[in-house]
Structure formats: C-alpha cells, structure tokens
Structure 1
C-alpha cells in the first residue's frame, strides 16, 4: 500500500499491549501497515509522486523488496535505550546519506520541506520496541538507487554508535548487531519449522528463534543440540538436511530450495522450551558461546507480527 510523503501514522502493533503501551512505545509508521496473507496479491499502484518512481511490480517482487532488520539487545532496562521513531529516523537518515547527490530520489527528498522523512520514497515500520524494523525501498531490482543494502549494515551499526538523543541533544551511543532477513527466507523458516506452532503449542512463549550473523558449522550445531537436549529442551537448525544451499523440502506438491534465497538460509536456530521461556535453561548466551557468533533472539509471536508488516 502506498501513501503520500506527508502522511505519518502512529499505531500500536503489539496485539496484547494496544491499550496499555505508553507513548514512547507507540509504533511510528511512515507508511500504513497491511496484513500479509499466505498468498499476497499485487498491491494497486497510485498516481502519488512520492511512491511512483519505481515501475509497477508483481506481488512477489514487491514483498521481496522489503527487508526485516532485527537489532540485537535494544531497549534493555539500562542499556541501548531508543524510541522507535528515533530508530526509524536514524535508518532513513543513514540511507539518505548514502544516496549520491545527483540521484533524483535525494534531490526530491531534500528539496521538499513538507516531507517528514529524510526520503519520501523509503519507509521504516517497527513492530514493538525491541528493534524489529521493516525497511522498504522503492525496489531493489528496478529502481535507480543502486544501493546494496546488505553491504551497508556494518556502516549502519557504526553510525548508531554516534547517535544523539534528539530530546536532550546528548550522545546516546547504541551498541548493536543487525540481522537482515527477507520475507521469502522467513516464510521458508515458518514452513519448515518442525515444532507445534499452534496457539496451544506456543503457549507460554515456548518457541523462540535465534537469528545468527552467519551460517554455523555443523559440528557446533550438534554441540548445541547436545547441550539443549541435556536440559530437556529442543533445538532445530534451519540448515538441517541441507548441503550448503541445495537443501529442499516438498510442500503442497512444490519443491522449495534454500538456494532460492541465497546465503540467508541456515542462519537460524529455533528453540523449544517445554516449560515456557520464563523457565527455560537455554538462553542467548549459551547459543552464542556454543556457536561462536552473535545472535538475536525473538519469540515466535514477535517474528510473525513483524512479518505482517512485510
């Protein structure tokens, strides 16, 4: 769904905190979110100048152009405190700074005083305050932006280290790791996850996903499995049964292959806690130390809620 550049909508997307959330936890959206169905239909285009620079695309390319940015360890009790509007503004400002001065997108965004965002052609939408941001460019494949966003992630992380609190004008460095995922990779993760994902099966936040910065070694995964199963819990690796990116699974008569989504597949482990997350014995630190890399943990409800924005 497209909207005019001057439109700003604030809404609470957490299903259980819609009435209790304080203003600082409200989700600031630059474009209104629309629910995702299992088979998304093509979104109608409009004549709005703020969103019509990219040629019309199919529902597949429109969805796949959006990316989910998962930030590690944001808004802890005394560390990495940042509002969703600050985070979204930092992302949009960073992206706008990477556009060449001759790019028409940057010229349009800097010359329009009415625009409330650094670039009216980009959107950033958050799901709750833990750092789950859907970033939407006009189109990765067909626009003249020439931005290789995955390669910009390290620079975005460094830029947050110099973040300034807009209210106090004091330095507020944000130390984080960003994990980037596309909708096709997340859909494949949901389809292949072997755990009970029904509301009853997930009761008590039993299912959690750890997003990793790279694909772990199989030997490390087996070591993690032994540790997890020793305390009565379970783990599933998204790369199981796969040789590199060539793994596949048949579902509804169709063969899905990890190679379809490039290097993303195999960079998640899913944990199942029979007693619920609050009583779990396997925390993020155990996963990171065993696999030898950083990760970001999200509950299944947070994951699916973020996917609805894509």
Structure 2
C-alpha cells in the first residue's frame, strides 16, 4: 500500500451511480499521491456500499437521504488533512494534479480555492467554463492564476479551514449554483480563489441526469442568491435577469413558486457582501447602470 499524502484528502459525492463510482475510485486509488478517499453516498444505497468495500483506502459516509451538494459537508467532517479535493462520481483527478495543487496552496496562504482545468470526455476537451475562468477580468496580481468569484464544485482543491469557516454548502440549495453562494461567503471571509490550469481533472458526464429538474432548482437558487447577498439595487437587477432566463427556459413558474416559498428564510439570513466583493461580482457578471442623479427643473421666477 502507498503512503497516504498527509496534506490532502479527496471527498467523492455520489448518488445511485455505482458503475460510475467504481470507475472513479479505480482512477483515484491509482493516483501517485495516494490521498485519503472519503465517499459520501447521498441516499445510503447498498450498491454504493458494495463498491466502496472493494477499495482499500475508501471510507464511506452514508446520508439517509439525498442532501445534494450539502452531502459534501459530511465528508469534510472526516477530513484530517489541511487540504481537501472534491470530485463527483463521474470525475477524477489527473495523476500528479493533487501534488501540484498542494504545492500551489502551500505557496499562497490566502488562497482558499484552487479550481482545476476540467478535461471533458475521452477527447479531453477543455470545459467551456474553464475558458471563461481563464478570461477573468479581475486583478489577479499575487495569485497563481486568474482570480475567480465562483468555482466548479467537483473540480476544486480547497483549504479545509476555509471551507469550514464559510460554513460549507447551504443544504437548502441542493444542487445548482450552490458553489456561487459558498464562493461569495469565502470571499467575504477574506479568502482568494483562482483558476490554475496546470492542475487537471477529468469529467465524463453521466447520462443519468434530469436536466429540467436541475434548471428549476438552479433558477430558484439564483433568485435566492440575489436576495441573500446582494445590495437591493443589484438584487433587483439580478432578479429581473433570472426572471428572463427562467422564462426562456420554460421553468419560471415552478422556480419562482419555490423561491417565494423560501423568501422568509432568505430574508432572515440576508447578509450583504462587502463592497469590494460586490464590485468583483459586478465586474464579472455585470450589473445595473449607475444610478442617475435626479435634477429638479427650476422655472424662472419659481424660487422664492
């Protein structure tokens, strides 16, 4: 058995996809870094438990129900290393990638999140989201790559301390834009995030996906994001934008009903981001035009 790298663990999130999970664990077990492996099973499937038993270094965490992204929180509870890498049951890390990520994180003590370059499918196509991250308009001086305001949940290596300080993933978000909220809270806590393409991970998307359900939840969560963290003027601008996107996708009604049902929760937990973070978010995603100053027309002889 290889010596486990004492600085990094891998948390794998899975739900009823034992064949994909087995392929991912084969790749992870073969990594030269030999990281500790923590498999979070959303739903406690017997088939998942059977797969995990075949891998010597894999530890299983069973969630009684499907917690979505928040299942990762339970995995991080077992992490005893300073760094934690995340992947899903259809993604795995390139050999040597975790060692490179650890070296970068060691060099940049305020870097809380390192987003890898994602290679999709057997052709190893660069994920379009990575191309957007590479073109980040933010000031990236003092960082190992372009500065980010969000990240790809299954393609990052994080500082475990940063994850815990930010509170992990919000359970109500389930799956869909959940990393946006966590990224904003990380920045508000003073952590940096960067895209580092020298660190690579592979993604072979599973066909077992409900696209419409994901669109509904993502649209709902985008409404909540605006109400939870943005100044009201920007929140209103973002609400209208999400409304248009949801209508174009044909999911507005379902998403809006769900979002409004959670409005009291969102308002009770509203915590506006620091101005510097808001400015970065606007620079990346856009915002409303500057407020116009109202000028009063004064008619001749009107003043007394």
Q: TM-score, normalised by structure 2?
A: 0.31
Rg larger in 1 or in 2?
Answer: 2
TM-score when normalising by structure 1? 0.30
Structure having the larger proportion of residues in helix = 2
